[in-house]
Amino acid sequence: MPTPYDGSFPQFQSAHPNAAFSDWLVARAEPFWSAATEHPFTRAIGDGSMPDEAYTRYLIEDYTFVTDLASTLGYLVAKAPRMQSKTQLSAFLALLTSEENDYFLRSFEALGVPASTYETAAQGPTTRAFADLLVSSAGKGSYPDGLACLLCAEWCYLTWGRREAQKPKPEAFYLAEWIDLHAVPGFEAFVNWIIEEMNGIGPTLSPDDQDRVSRLFRHMSALEFAFFEAAWTGKTPDLPEEFRQS
Ligand SMILES: Cc1ncc(C[n+]2csc(CCO)c2C)c(N)n1
């Protein structure tokens, strides 16, 4: 696994003249960024080795989390400084609250999960920590704080989605569609927009704000890893020491 870069953004730019702010965020988020985007769970989605039990655990947790993501996007629409940004974020919010719900319902049916289970499921501790960081950063923090968390969540999914889309399609529709959803051009365009938005704003922030944004992106990367790990193993993973009290 790659080791983290621990310098500032200007230091990173002197060493890598073509580097963007988002490249610095990824470099600072290692080894968690790679551990999340290359998690065995993400490879199993595309290679036919996914146990039903693990995928069921994952979807039940993810279904609860999508509600929190919708709240996050609401905060970001409110805080975005420009109309063009509000347009992008609200279009994604509309997608998230319509088509995606249908995917979950069809998948639960195929996996034999009754509505009484997925409608009332309480979030496990990892999902709660993940959703809390996302919602509180967007709600209580600044626009760049919330954007950094959204960037991590969506870019992580685009990264594994594009990789798994190179493999032959899995038989189960819920696996094939989950890959498609994260590898289609519309999703890629949205993630590229978040990357560009962050690359535009990041360099204008104070050193303290840049540092905080990078710590949020790093913390989110660790929680994305933990989210896959919880689904994959059926156990709650311990978070690394550095994230325990923040
Ligand atoms: C834990 C977790 N992290 C990120 C995503 C990514 N994500 C959330 S909504 C959405 C839009 C289209 O699916 C995407 C990519 C997820 N699902 N679950």
The pTM of the full predicted model, rounded to 2 decimals, is: 0.96
Nearest CA to ligand 1 atom 17: 62
The C-alpha angle with vertex 153 and arms to 147 and 155, in degrees rounded to 5, equals: 90
- The pLDDT, as a whole number, for residue 125 is 95
42 Cα: distance to centroid of ligand 1 (angstroms): 13
13 Cα: distance to centroid of ligand 1 (angstroms): 30
Q: How far is residue 193 from each of residues 38, 77, 135, 185, measured CA to CA in Å?
A: 23, 14, 21, 12
157 Cα: distance to centroid of ligand 1 (angstroms): 7
Architecture of domain 28-232: Up-down Bundle (1.20)
184 Cα: distance to centroid of ligand 1 (angstroms): 14
Domain boundaries, given as residue ranges, for the chain? 28-232
> Which of 42, 64, 69 should be mutated for ligand 1, with most atoms under 8 A from CB?
69
Residues with CB under 6 A from ligand 1: 62, 65-66, 69, 96, 100, 153-154, 157, 181-182, 224, 227
18 Cα: distance to centroid of ligand 1 (angstroms): 29
How many Å is the maximal CA-CA distance in the chain? 56
Spatial CB neighbours of 148, under 8 Å, sequence gap ≥ 6: 25, 137, 198, 213, 214, 216, 217, 220
- Dig out the tokens for 183 from the structure: 């590898």
The span from the CA of 198 to the CA of 25, in Å, is 10
The span from the CA of 38 to the CA of 32, in Å, is 10
Question: Which atom number of ligand 1 is nearest to the Cα of residue 61?
Answer: 1
The span from the CA of 100 to the CA of 69, in Å, is 12
C-alpha radius of gyration, the chain, whole number:
18
**Would you give per-residue pLDDT tens digits along the chain (246 residues)?**
899 999 999 999 999 999 999 999 999 999 999 999 999 999 999 998 999 999 999 999 999 998 999 999 999 999 999 999 999 999 999 998 887 888 999 999 999 999 999 999 999 999 999 999 999 999 999 999 999 999 999 999 999 999 999 999 999 999 999 999 999 999 999 999 999 999 999 999 999 999 999 999 999 999 999 999 999 999 999 999 999 865
